[in-house]
Structure 1
Amino acid sequence: MIMALLILLAILSVGILWLLMISPGQPAPLRDDSGQVIPGSISERVAVEIGGISQAMIIQSVDSANPVLLFLHGGPGMTEFFMEQDYPTGLEHHFTMVWWEQRGAGMSFSADIPPETMTMEQMIADTVEVADYLRARFGQHRILLLGHSWGSYLGIQVAAAAPDRFFAYVGMAQIAHQLRSEIMARDYLLRAYGERGDAAMVRKLKAAKVSMEDGLSPAWMRLRDRAMHGMGVGHTRDMRSVITGIFLPVWRVRAYTVMDKINVWRGKIWSRPFFWDDLLRDDLVKRLTEFALPVYFFVGRHDYTANPELSRAYFEAIDAPMKGFYVFENSAHSPLFEEPVRAKQILLNDVIGKSDEGVNSPLAKTDGHGTDKRSR
């Protein structure tokens, strides 16, 4: 018994030492193909007072003169910088990439955050304040805003509230009416697992009720991620498990300290209840369709977290100076990470190339496909 305890203690000690070694709390410098640090590049984590509390972000760029791209992660409260490990976008070579971790999430989580500040109005104000910090720091009149999932729900409201800060808004897996999307997801999964002949999963799905009247049952919330990933329609097309695809990768992020990694999960659990019910019930088609800046949607053909048909219907209702709708045929919920080459081409050719801010940028191309009030 004593020997077994000693062996267990040794294993735990090695595990803790390994975790400390891979958790320095600083992002790696950006390097060229020969492994040399790129002169003039930046790769740093920054903490700034936003909305009265310290909030953190990771900023990476080979050239800080490149257009700033502010990424709004999903959740609520679920950071996404970890995705760069297994699904690198390479956007730091073309943009000054800003991975801000929102109030109550990840590096910005604190048990001292007043719960009464966890409101939609405060999140919008925080986003605008972060944008103003970035505009001032990098000397750019307007920057690019990209929101993913929950971040798209936040982002499109920011775009409507403060269009003067941004030269365009990009919604990835754009939320339109999330409760309706959940109902469509369950209907699809019942058909798909039925066709596969998985009677056990069909029984579980039938018991996991979802409706416009009663919302989402606890049984559905326990089952949805596993069922979606089992069909390749979850966070990414090839992700089969939240554990292997999300939970474990977070623990490998070197830009985080050990406490940051713990706070990713504390923040996710804590943040979600403040916003989830309102997010589910809000039908954006009915209240938010007028925009004073270009609007672009990136949707995955196989996304059943934020249904692309609902995103399309919302897109059609939007009035904006320029807009574009892009379907990524090989993606589920995360086109930027699943098809980064195509996403980069669209961002550079259509979004940057057709914007007032981008026409004089060395990144801008003249052969883009963004068109006035038309989709692609």
Structure 2
Amino acid sequence: MFARKTRKIVSKFGSIAALEEVFLGGTKQFVLMRGENIENPIMLFLHGGPGTAQIGFAPKFQRNLEKDFLVVNWDQKGAGISYSPTLKKEEMTIESMLHDAVQLIKYLLKRFNQSKLFLVGHSWGTVLGTLTAQRFPQYIHSYIGIGQVAHMEKGEKISYEYTLNKAKELKNEKAFKELTLLDYNPSDLNYLLVQRKWLSKFGGSAIGITDYQLIYSNMFSANEYTFKDWFTYMKASRFSLESMWSQVLTIDFLKDPLQIEVPVYIFAGKQDYQTPTQLANQYFDNLDCPHKGFILFEQSAHLPNFEEPQKFYEECVKIKEKHTPLLDERVPKHKELVNTK
């Protein structure tokens, strides 16, 4: 609670359990690396938000993944323990995040002597993941999108209409009044706060887990964040949203055929109305790639990796078995790998 640390991993192989600082784009940021065998393929998670860092709560849902992957969680610039009060809003751009992501990927591949990794994006992280997979396929075994963003403006409209219709269906007068009094304006963070509150209450964000199980219980039990870090987490989340939300709203992966030169898997919660699954289906149909798969999580909304962690693990292992080369084929083939210092 008072000092950052991560639980040790006891393994007969060369394991790793490390919370470390790296410098990406000249900014100090934090990565958590955990795995029972450092020769297992790397799985890098790009968290949602912007600003919903997950080092503080993700590890307890990833125990099984640590058996088969070297799991890396990264608190992105301006999020979680990678937040700094010296950061300026104008430094928080999609392009700078993409630069940081690629620099981190190169660092991880060089450090662990691997040629490629598995890239997993969640929500906003699927924007970053899609762009990374498009532009830098040489570093990626396959890309997994959870709560995949397809068209932000269309998604926000569907999300609003879902909450309004649920308020009518459930005869929730308070919700209906608050939602109808809002001017529909997804670029307004005050609007977003109210809409997301009701979306969460009506099961469009999560049905298989509560906010307490996901985040609040970890304030006293997780070791990767101190108690003080959780207050920074909240401040950082607001800062990241204020800095980047208008940029994220411009994302449209449906406008043109989407070409990605690596296998792509979409993990979609059946009840997801935060990044609506119907649009994730359109993203999938619009996708041109070597191999693709669409996996529906029946008992999930926007957080299938946390709502159905066992199924998430099993599907990831299937992808690993399909797309990981033999150990002796994993020597890096690219020469431009760089250090983070």
Q: TM-score surpassing 0.5?
A: yes
Structure with bigger gyration radius: 1
For the pair 1:285 / 2:251, whether they are aligned, the reply is no
The CA deviation string for residues 257-302 of structure 1, in whole angstroms up to 9 with x for no partner, is 3443332122212111222112113211115711111111101001
For the pair 1:102 / 2:81, whether they are aligned, the reply is no
Measured in 2, the distance between the counterparts of 1:184 and 1:77 equals: 23
For the pair 1:296 / 2:270, whether they are aligned, the reply is no
CA positional deviation for 1:359: 4.2
The secondary structure found in structure 2 opposite 1:170 is: strand
Contact 1:60 1:98 in 2 (8 A): yes
Measured in 2, the distance between the counterparts of 1:126 and 1:221 equals: 27
For the pair 1:342 / 2:311, whether they are aligned, the reply is yes
Structure 2: which amino acid aligns with 1:206?
T
Measured in 2, the distance between the counterparts of 1:123 and 1:288 equals: 24
* 1:369 corresponds to: none
* 1:29 corresponds to: 8
Q: Identity, % of aligned pairs? A: 29
* 2:207 corresponds to: 237
Q: Name stretches of at least 5 consecutive residues in structure 1 with no aligned partner.
A: 1-21, 32-36, 363-376
Contact 1:294 1:320 in 2 (8 A): yes
Measured in 2, the distance between the counterparts of 1:180 and 1:150 equals: 15
For the pair 1:325 / 2:304, whether they are aligned, the reply is no
Measured in 2, the distance between the counterparts of 1:138 and 1:205 equals: 50
CA shift in 2, pair 1:124/1:219, >3 Å: closer
**Structure 1: 4+ residue segments shifted above 6 A:** none
CA RMSD in angstroms comes to 2.2
* 1:353 corresponds to: 321
CA shift in 2, pair 1:252/1:325, >3 Å: same
For the pair 1:163 / 2:137, whether they are aligned, the reply is yes
Contact 2:304 2:312 in 1 (8 A): yes
Measured in 2, the distance between the counterparts of 1:67 and 1:39 equals: 14
> How does the TM-score come out when normalised to structure 1?
0.81
* 1:34 corresponds to: none
> How does the TM-score come out when normalised to structure 2?
0.89
Q: How many residues end up aligned between the 2 structures?
A: 328
Structure 2 counterpart of 1:265, from 209, 223, 234: 234
* 2:103 corresponds to: 129
CA shift in 2, pair 1:89/1:177, >3 Å: farther
* 2:192 corresponds to: 221
CA shift in 2, pair 1:87/1:226, >3 Å: farther
Select between 123-132 and 172-181 the one with higher mean Cα deviation. Answer: 172-181
CA shift in 2, pair 1:226/1:89, >3 Å: farther
Q: Name stretches of at least 5 consecutive residues in structure 2 with no aligned partner.
A: 329-341
For the pair 1:208 / 2:187, whether they are aligned, the reply is no
The secondary structure found in structure 1 opposite 2:52 is: coil
Select between 89-98 and 224-233 the one with higher mean Cα deviation. Answer: 224-233
Measured in 1, the distance between the counterparts of 2:161 and 2:100 equals: 37
The secondary structure found in structure 2 opposite 1:25 is: coil
Measured in 1, the distance between the counterparts of 2:187 and 2:87 equals: 28
Measured in 2, the distance between the counterparts of 1:91 and 1:272 equals: 29
Residues 63-212 of structure 1: matches in 2 within 5 Å?
63-84=37-58, 87-88=61-62, 90-210=64-184
Measured in 1, the distance between the counterparts of 2:50 and 2:157 equals: 20
Contact 2:44 2:72 in 1 (8 A): yes
Structure 1: which amino acid aligns with 2:41?
P
Select the structure with the greater relative contact order (CA < 8 A; seq sep ≥ 6). 2
Measured in 1, the distance between the counterparts of 2:181 and 2:209 equals: 25
